[in-house]
Amino acid sequence: MGSKYRLLPHLERTFAEIGGTTAVDAFSGSGVVSYLLKAQGFSVASNDFLNFPSIIARATVANSSVRLEPELIDEICGPPLDDRDFIRSTFDGLYFDAADRAFLDSAWSHIARLRGYRRDLAISALVLSAARKQPRGVFTFTDATRYADGRRDLRMSLRDHFRLRAASEYNSTVFSNGRKHRSSCGDVFDLDVTPLFDAAPDLVYLDPPYAPPTDDNDYIKRYHFLEGLSVYWEGMSIMENTKTKKLPKRFTPFAYKRTIDDALVRTFEHFEDAGAIVLSYSSNALPGADRIVDLLGKVKPSVEVIAIDHKYSFGTHAAATRRDVSEYLFIGRD
């Protein structure tokens, strides 16, 4: 899931210039933009069509005061409360060694008994631990040694990862900006922010999946393990005949070149009453910048385009392929 860390300074300036008090992050992903908006003083409605990003946003954005106590972290890292072994047996020989898989089962024996933001924080820390331990952070391959480059993250146990993520990282993100926030999981076309805002939002930020010129942009294929882990695969069907034990693909019109134009138009129309619409998009995706200006201009007649040089890295090893692209910010106003 494309991280926006390097774009945050540009987004921060853009959001500050737009101003206001209410904002929507409709494709929250890693949650860093929702968190930025909260840090800038907005009341934030965060949404994603995958489950684990919505949990991360609840833990770090909607949550304004709850943290995981040291004693609770010790309990989660301690002996299991039951004999569950779903991860250990289902993913035998995949992704993590037996001890790490056993820890994930054990951790969930404790997390299953938690409620509210403590549960969200614990799941978020567990998901981040798995993402950091897995080379490249994606689950499209089964031989982790192919990309093992000796980094500390790859050598740490998942139990140690969890202690670090829970105690040092996620707990430290919790703060209050004095406003209410909400995180939801669902289709962007069904997103209703009226329960949080009294009027149309001042700002809507859109970072949909980028439609590549060929193939599709399937987030489930990359992050199926994290999605399943976030709910302990409850209610999910694993494709047992696949090497990676992935989850079925979930259709999104943003992932395909044949449907992306209509998806963008519908999204712009869904938020046409917002004060401003800000769209992030990549120069190596479809449609092109001129076409997006035309589409957004149907809803917001004044469209500004900012091109930001950006470098994507594919892999974590020294010889990783890197591609220079432009990341566009399209800012639509009335």
pLDDT score, position 4:
74
- Residues in contact with 24: Cβ distance below 8 Å, sequence separation at least 6, in sequence order: 44, 45, 46, 47, 191, 193, 201, 203, 204, 205, 271, 274
Q: Tell me what percent of the residues of the chain surpass a pLDDT of 70.
A: 95
- pLDDT band at residue 15 under the 50/70/90 scheme: very high
pLDDT tops 70 at residue 313: no
**What average pLDDT does this structure show over 20-46?**
98
Q: Helix 98-111 vs helix 116-133: angle between axes, to the nearest 10 degrees? A: 170
Yes or no: say if 171 and 124 are a contact pair by the CB < 8 Å rule: no
pLDDT tops 60 at residue 270: yes
Length, in residues, of the chain: 334
pLDDT tops 90 at residue 324: no
Q: What pTM did the predictor assign?
A: 0.94
- pLDDT band at residue 321 under the 50/70/90 scheme: very low
**What average pLDDT does this structure show over 75-101?**
97
Mean pLDDT is lowest, of 80-84, 139-143, 305-309, 313-317, for 313-317
Task: Please name each of the domains of the chain with its CATH number.
Answer: 1-64+179-216+256-334 (3.40.50.150), 73-174+217-250 (no CATH)
